[in-house]
Amino acid sequence: MKKTQLRFQKASDQFRGLCSPSLQLEYDETKPIIDLPHPKDIRLETTDLIKAIENRQSIRKYLEQPLKLEELSLLLWCTQGVKEVLRESVTLRNVPSAGARHALETYLLVNRVQSLHSGLYRFLAVKHKLVEVSLDPGLADEVTRACLNQEFVKTSAVTFIWTAVPYRMVWRYGERGYRYLHIDAGHVCQNLYLVAETIDAGVCAIAAFDDEALNRALEIDGKQQWAIYIAALGKIQQRESQRSSHATRT
């Protein structure tokens, strides 16, 4: 932390005129691509924001009820959805990020989501689509072990795994950018907690995990990209007191 203080900062690669990194990591184009429902077409019940904040809690027990693909689409839209691409080098999204760098990628351990096979997927935020990464039946156990055997990782409907692509942030901010990666992860996860209230779902954020084991499970190198934060999510009993009215997104 000391070395990320401003007094230690040197000229960043952006200041030196180097090209900015890509908005999104490359992916295996031979893998299946899954179209997601457009978030603006999804019907949902509204939730009073203050009540959602006051009722926020970490929940580790979930119903066996699967998540709808429309609900997953909404969660992805509210946590990393791209509203606009500027100059092919900057994205404006539904969460704040230092310098609009948005240096996170979203992986999903899917356990119970309608229309999706169980397995690992990655969210292609710019296209609002999913790409299949692996349908290895042992992957849920591997990720659970990496999360220190916290069983709700694989009893969830879906577990979000956010990874950091540090150079996307460091390119602009140098070593201080490592601070911003963790701050950004917090913004994303808080949105997940709040939006989950609109679909009768509960969330539990996880920071206790074996970094190297989780990186291996995701098949990432742990240097140019590494796991930074996790959150399990699943359906829970509806809490009527949190409902304010019904609405349709248009």
Higher pLDDT, 87 or 242: 87
In sequence order, what are the residues at sequence separation of 6 or more whose Cβ sits closer than 8 angstroms to the Cβ of residue 231?
A: 159, 160, 189, 192, 193, 203, 204, 205, 206
* CA distances from residue 187 to 165, 176, 192, 194 in whole angstroms, order as listed: 16, 18, 9, 11
pLDDT at 241: 45
pTM of the model: 0.93
How many degrees, rounded to 5, is the angle at CA 208 between CA 238 and CA 74? 40
pLDDT at 143: 98
Q: What is the pLDDT of residues 49-64, one digit of tens each?
A: 999 999 899 999 999 9
Indicate whether 189 pLDDT > 50.
yes
108/130 Cα distance (integer angstroms): 9
State the DSSP string of 85-110. Answer: EETTTEEEESS--GGG---EEEEEEE
pLDDT (mean) for 6-12: 91
pLDDT at 240: 53
Q: What is the pLDDT of residues 115-166, one digit of tens each?
A: 999 999 999 999 999 999 999 999 999 999 999 999 999 999 999 999 999 9
Q: What is the pLDDT of residues 193-229, one digit of tens each?
A: 999 999 999 999 999 999 999 999 999 999 999 999 9
The CATH architecture annotation of domain 32-248 reads: 3-Layer(aba) Sandwich (3.40)
pLDDT at 58: 97
Within 10 angstroms of residue 184's Cβ, the number of other Cβ atoms is 24
pLDDT at 47: 80
pLDDT at 242: 45
Give the domain ranges of the chain: 32-248
239 band by pLDDT with thresholds 50, 70 and 90? low
State the DSSP string of the chain. Answer: -GGGSGGG----TTTTTPPPPPSS----TTS-EEE---GGG-EEEEE-HHHHHHH--B-----SPPBPHHHHHHHHHHHH-EEEEETTTEEEESS--GGG---EEEEEEESSBTTS-SEEEEEETTTTEEEEEE--TTHHHHHHHHTTT-THHHHSSEEEEEEE-HHHHHHHHGGGHHHHHHHHHHHHHHHHHHHHGGGTEEEEEE----HHHHHHHHT--SSSSEEEEEEEEEE----GGGEEEEEE--
Q: What is the pLDDT of residues 63-112, one digit of tens each?
A: 999 999 999 999 999 999 999 999 878 999 999 999 999 999 999 999 99
pLDDT at 248: 37
pLDDT at 108: 99
